[in-house]
Structure 1
């Protein structure tokens, strides 16, 4: 996919220097930077989801979807447990 973005001049110049140093392409540098950014922020979404779940459980405001998930996860855990 192609996309267009606007960059501050100083950032563009720094990226151009990286392109020359690496021997790669501008696209490769942008892709690597975006992959790193996404990888760093995905755990934040997971943490946020766990925090919401903990709040729901603590406050007794657990949504039906959460209750269903918890029941199913508990059932599966019990099935795998030797008694």
Structure 2
């Protein structure tokens, strides 16, 4: 699909040089750059969502471990005479 975008002159010149150096058309360079940008942000979104899930689970996990530790101590000291 053809589209028109406005970019700073310096960025355009750098893109021209990069495309020539890589031996690819400028439009292919722009398409690849956009694809990588979208993938990067998609991965960040997934990572961000996973971090939120693990952050919530971390509190629950620490609480569960603490509860298990107390329960274990109670059981292990049950027959202990003080």
Fold shared by both chains (TM-score > 0.5)? yes
TM-score tier (shorter): 0.5 to 0.7
TM-score by length of 2: 0.56
Structure 2 gap segments, 5+ residues each: 60-82
Q: In the alignment, which residue of structure 2 is the partner of 1:45? A: 45
Q: Which of the pair has more CA radius of gyration?
A: 2
Alignment deviations for residues 19-70 of structure 1 (CA, whole Å, 9 cap, x no partner)? 22222111110011112212222111112222343466679xxxxxxxxxxx
Structure 1 gap segments, 5+ residues each: 60-83
Query: Is residue 2:59 matched to residue 1:24?
Result: no
Task: Please tell me the root mean square deviation across aligned C-alpha atoms, in Å.
Answer: 2.2
Matches within 5 A, 1:3-82: 3-54=3-54
